[in-house]
Amino acid sequence: MYTFLNDSFVPDDKAFLHVSDLSIQRGYGIFDFFRVMDNYPLFIEDYLERLYVSAKEMHLKVPYKPGQLKSLIFELIQKNNIPMSGIKVILTGGYSPDGYQLADKANLIMVQKPMNFPPAGFPTEGIKIITHEYLRDKPHVKTINYVVGIWIQNKVLEKKAADVLYHYKGEVSEFPRCNFFIVRKDNTVVTPGENILEGVTRKHVLRLAAKKYKVEIGRVTLDDARAANEAFLTSTSKRIVPITQIDESIIGEGKPGRVTNDLYDDLVALELNEQAKAR
């Protein structure tokens, strides 16, 4: 299996960074992640656009133009031939001269790993989530900083939950790796609009929802979330997952809702249409 490092494809066991890299010294870097289905990277343009936006915000320079990087991604896919997989593109702060200043050149890493993605069928059961007060640094940027998300996993397991929803001063934002939606009793689909990473799956779900339902992007409080008729999360690897319990509050009827199911089916259809471009 191959990894791409800076300017060449190398075997996985030969892909190393020096300890002076700012990702190691200070946890400084960005990344993006996308799914590969039947050797085709889904919605690749969306993910690359976000990567370059994140890089600019963090004063990092991607060493390739978008078209060049896209070609390298397809070459990695061809070399590894892992039809169902995930690719993570990482851009670090580079080899810092003093362990604090940005280097002149960032390090670019592209890693592909096999992944078992959820089947196309809508989940028959929802998940329980817990809440935690926390506001991420630069939430609109996909950084490699997941300190709190990883630190709180013990509590997530203790509460027999599946994930943790961040909030700040009573206003919810996002999960460590997912976006959050609620559905009101009138079927309005609502998602937070501040202090979040604008997920690619979130973007597509919003577009799909707007074709059938009223959609709102804005303030969502903890009380709004607990009083919702339905709730769900979205992410690249999970698609849409219904939420039936937040802390001790049961959401709606305590089972996956009709609007969530409808949007899930539409998202799967969109993925299949995207995948058909490769044929």
Same domain? 145 vs 105: no
Percentage above 90 pLDDT, the chain: 94
Q: How far apart are CA 135 and CA 197, in angstroms?
A: 12
In-domain check, residue 195: yes
Q: For 88-118, how does the pLDDT look when each residue is reduced to its tens digit (9 = 90+)?
A: 999 999 999 999 999 999 999 999 999 987 7
The structure's pTM equals 0.95
Distance CA 116, CA 52 (A): 28
Contact 202, 234 (CB under 8 A): yes
The answer on 269 and 138 residing in a single domain is: yes
Whether residue 44 is contained in a domain is answered as yes
Confidence band of 121 (pLDDT split at 50, 70, 90): confident
Q: What is the pLDDT of the chain when averaged over all its residues?
A: 96
160 Cβ neighbours under 8 A, 6+ residues apart? 128
Mean pLDDT on 223-250:
97
Residue 279: the pLDDT is 62
Q: Kindly tell me if the per-residue pLDDT of 277 is higher than 80.
A: no
> Could you tell me what percentage of the chain is helix, strand and coil, using 3-state DSSP and rounding each to the nearest 5?
30, 30, 40
Residue range(s) defining the domain that contains residue 56: 2-114
